[in-house]
A and B are shown apart, each in its own frame.
Chain A
Amino acid sequence: MKYQLVSGLETHVELATKTKIFCGCTTAFGGEPNTHCCPVCTGQPGALPILNKKVVEYAIRAGLATHCTINTTTHLDRKNYCYPDLPKAYQISQFDKPLCEHGYVELESGKRIGITRIHIEEDAGKLVHESGYTLIDYNRGGVPLIEIVSEPDISSPEEAKEYVEKLQLIMRYIGVSDCKMQEGSMRCDVNISVMPEGSKEFGTRTEIKNMNSISYIDKAMRYEYERQCEVLNDGGKIVQATLRYDEKTGETSVMRTKEDAQDYRYFPEPDILTVVIPESKVEEIKSQLPELPLEKLNRYIDELKINPATARLLYKYKKVCDFVEKVISLGASVKNAVNLTTGVLYSKLPTEEDKENFALPVTAEETAKLIKLADEGKINITLAQQTLSKMAEEGNPVSAYIKEEDLAGVDDSELEEICKQAIENNPAAAADFKGGKEKAIFALYGFVKKATQGKADIKKADAILKKLILG
């Protein structure tokens, strides 16, 4: 029998606030163990949590960007469980009244993956296992998280991948998280079940915990899908369980089954009063939301007429988009701004992270100046590329490479003179071109470029050359 995969994701996203959710400690990643701590985030007796307003704002931003309804009256709850990385023996989270509900993330196909809820909570510390003993580092304890729970709307590993990427992109766009899966600032629990194709009744699900890379999510889902299909085809039953994924073997194994599921004894956190958010605050946050990734992609394609493949190269990196848009707003042509960015600048930014960070010393202002010279035909595109490359490495302004007098030098009469010289010096090429070999004209371009140190507008030179040769 053929089975349909049904999946929903629970995604934990670490918020990029400067301080922790209930105290003033820094959220900086790493640091000497237990140095980003205080009585509050180590759960000392008598210490009390104070809710960081920025956390609520960031979570609302995340909710609005995923089309959620915001519960303007909400509260926090205690999730009680005993584990050494949780110093109060309860995690402050949200249970029955999450901050955001009923949203969605749209895939490029137009399919919407429903968002059941987004709630705020605190992260736990980290256990470091040594031989014979275990150490605890509470630096991460109290770092703010949002948990984004999706509906079981995902029906393939490809959709899961796109959903996670889209979420990542949205969160980065709105500046609430860097979503670095390798540093744990984004992690996913994947719920999977299968049902006979065409069926409407979901099968029993399993949950793969703590996935920290998109490729593992993909592999784990494929493995678990196959496993479940096999069990059912062999006449077996799926046991509801929490699984772990072994990255080395590529297999899932059982962590615990439903029977030993924990009873978290949720109840409202008495140390934090009911959170009441004025509607005006929600409106304010909404009005400050930037253009979202999919909106931007569509605008690039539809309005800026950037070809879809190139638009996709750009929209994934918010900082790159900000740069390109600024260059364009300063008067540079869309085509040159986009092509020089994805051509020249991307070659300096080999990794995803490099592109995300976009930390080149070149400014949008200088880039716009340079591109305008090319747009106006004062320099050719090759020189523009070479210059931008140097600017991106050295951080100098355009004027360090191209002088005003150089530009003035190549006026039309001078260009015509140089073209004549080109033909005189390359009679064979000129003759070949006249005889129908179109490519022969490149030798003449080369002469012009060399003679003008790349400043000549090749389009113009082309017209002059053709006029001179063909008469």
Chain B
Amino acid sequence: MKSTILHLSKMLQSGEITSVQLTEQYISAIEKENPAINAYVNYTFDQARANAIEADKLIKEGRATALTGIPFTLKDNIATDGMLTTCCSKILQGFKPYYDATVWSKLKAQGAVLLGKTNMDEFAMGSTSETSVYGAPLNPIDKTRVTGGSSGGVAAAVCANLAAYGLGSDTGGSIRQPASFCGIVGFKPSYGAVSRYGLIAYGSSLDQIGPMTRSVTDAAIIFDAIKGEDKKDGTSVATPSGETKLIGDVKGLKIGVVEELTDGVNPEILQAVNGVIEAYQKAGAQVVKLSVPALKLALPVYYIIACAEASSNLGRYDGIRYGYRASNYSGLDDMVTKTRSEGFGKEVKKRIMLGTYVLSSGYFDAYYKKACVLRGEVEKQIKECFEKCDFIFAPTVPQTAFPLGYSGGNATETYLSDVCTVPVNIAGLPAISIPCGKDKNGLPIGLQIIGRKYDDERVLNAAYFAEKYGVCEDIQFDGGVKL
């Protein structure tokens, strides 16, 4: 039995269990099960216990919200004051920020309980979490498979019930893809809907923090708790304040099915996705078949822009102010060179070099500038597409979880697996991945619902329909607590 935030919250508020007790249960579960799946890379149990005591006070005083007292996890690229935040990279070895990410401040203020930091691809660069300096997390559903990435640790922790929920970050699919591989819900809000302050940057114009949960209802609860304009993030925007109202009525909605997102997708996956679409149709939704030719350009556009921004964002790791510093060097240049050579992993180096190249004079116009122009074209065509439909339904990933070690030898295929998730980041859209079935190996399949920019609440509502009516049997929405 697994437990949603909604369920745990009811138990806490009715006094059936205290946050301290609940936290201890999670802690012992983590101690017992984490070594086998490597979801957490750093435990923050002291913090969790302190948070739980505070939370119990809030509950007693009647000041609790839906997430007060509920244990959760943060991806290791979200800054936590005084606690290790390493992006699963050697170069940030030992790094403890002296400031909190805005999302963590917001959750803390509501009495959330932080259990620890979870595994990820180094600097969020990857689709399998295998580039982590701590080694890959394993997919709790099949430990020979990857969790997906880059927020693989959060996905594994939530899937294995080692956290009630977690916050991941999504630059090209890093919330939705591991959610899909691990059979949970992953919501990537519109760009700007959630503050990025304290999220260690990979591709600044694409990065977005979002909830990874066990239900759509939970995703809405967490989204409400972390959303909103932040004075510390100039790219953040004001979202409709107040609670997201989940109704789940899909009558009259126009669902777009885009051929560029379904062509060549594994039939098993397409079947699962189509099954859900049919259920929506039965409830009164219409289906519109569409083509968005520019989506074929989304992947190269994404890799050029993300790598360009990354090459600049990662320039600061020079061993001078924080993190890892090479031990033997002569002079400043040598220190910086050795620190970076030793501190960054292979995938990160690859992307820094690619990004540096596309920004270099002589190549800038042919790569970076062209990518920006095409990004505009992708955005434009998606916008036009949304004149004909309210949502796009697509597979989250064209396949199910890769075997461990597979992507190392199949880098291009791994990159290509981001094809359905990347356009969403390029256009800054909200999108959610919900489980919609399993393949013949029992591996979860994800359905992605993409909405217009700032239609976050509508996307959650569209997904909620599936939850409310049990369209996808795997979505839990009121499990019992695991005791």
Contacts and interface: CB of A to CB of B under 8 A. Distances in A.
Asked if A pairs with B, the answer is: yes
Interface of A: 39, 42-51, 78, 80, 82, 84, 87-90, 134, 136, 263, 265-267, 270-273
Contacts of A50: 231-234
B467 interface: no
Contact of B201 (A46, A82, A89): A46
Contacts of A44: 79, 97-99, 322
B288 interface: no
B309 A82 contact: no
Given A44-B97, A46-B198, A82 B336 contact: yes
Contact of A45 (B233, B316, B364): B316
A82 B78 CA distance: 25
B321 A265 contact: no
Interface string B191-205: 000001111110111
Given A44-B99, A44-B322, A271-B201, 6 more contacts: A46-B77, A46-B79, A46-B197, A89-B315, A266-B359, A271-B204
Contacts of B198: 46-47
23 contacts: A44-B79, A44-B97, A45-B97, A45-B200, A46-B77, A46-B196, A46-B201, A48-B196, A48-B234, A48-B235, A50-B234, A78-B312, A82-B318, A84-B318, A88-B316, A89-B315, A89-B316, A265-B311, A265-B359, A265-B364, A270-B204, A272-B234, A273-B234
A47 B99 contact: yes
B95 A45 contact: yes
Contacts of A39: 97-99
B15 to A, nearest CB: 38
B308 interface: yes
A46 B320 CA distance: 17
Q: Which 6 A-B pairs have the closest CB atoms?
A: A89-B315, A270-B205, A265-B359, A270-B204, A45-B200, A46-B198
Contacts of A265: 311-312, 356, 359-361, 364
B314 to A, nearest CB: 8
Given A82-B336, A136-B320, A263-B360, A46 B200 contact: yes
A273 B235 contact: yes
Contacts of B196: 46, 48
A44 B359 CA distance: 23
Interface in B85-106: 85, 87, 92, 95, 97-99, 101
A272 B85 CA distance: 24
A47 B360 contact: no
Contacts of B200: 45-46
A48 B232 contact: yes
Interface in B224-270: 231-235
Residue among A46, A47, A90, A134 with most chain B CB within 10 A? A46
A90 B232 CA distance: 19
A43 B316 contact: yes
Contacts of A84: 318, 320, 332
Contact of B234 (A263, A266, A271): A271
B368 interface: yes
B296 to A, nearest CB: 24
B234 A49 contact: yes
Interface string B176-187: 000000000000
A334 to B, nearest CB: 51
A267 B234 contact: no
A88 B368 contact: no
Interface string B287-320: 0000000000000000000001101100110101
Residue among A48, A78, A272 with most chain B CB within 10 A? A48
B197 A80 contact: no
Contacts of B318: 82, 84, 89
B393 to A, nearest CB: 29
A396 to B, nearest CB: 49
Contacts of A48: 196-197, 232-235
A265 to B, nearest CB: 4
Contact of A90 (B98, B315, B321): B315
Contacts of B99: 39, 44, 46-47
Given A44-B99, A45-B97, A46-B198, A90 B312 contact: yes
Contacts of B85: 45-46
Nearest to A264: B361
Interface string B349-389: 00000001001110010001000000000000000000000
A267 B79 contact: no
A87 B234 contact: no
A80 B312 contact: yes
Contacts of B199: 46
Contacts of A263: 360-361
Contacts of A270: 203-205, 235, 309
A39 B205 CA distance: 20
Contacts of B97: 39, 44-46
Contacts of B316: 43, 45, 87-89
B368 A267 contact: yes
B204 A80 contact: no
Interface in B404-442: none
B370 to A, nearest CB: 13
A258 B318 CA distance: 26
A267 B355 CA distance: 11
A134 B320 CA distance: 11
Interface string B4-44: 00000000000000000000000000000000000000000
A84 B336 CA distance: 10
A265 B361 CA distance: 7
B463 to A, nearest CB: 29
Contacts of B321: 42-43, 87
B451 to A, nearest CB: 22
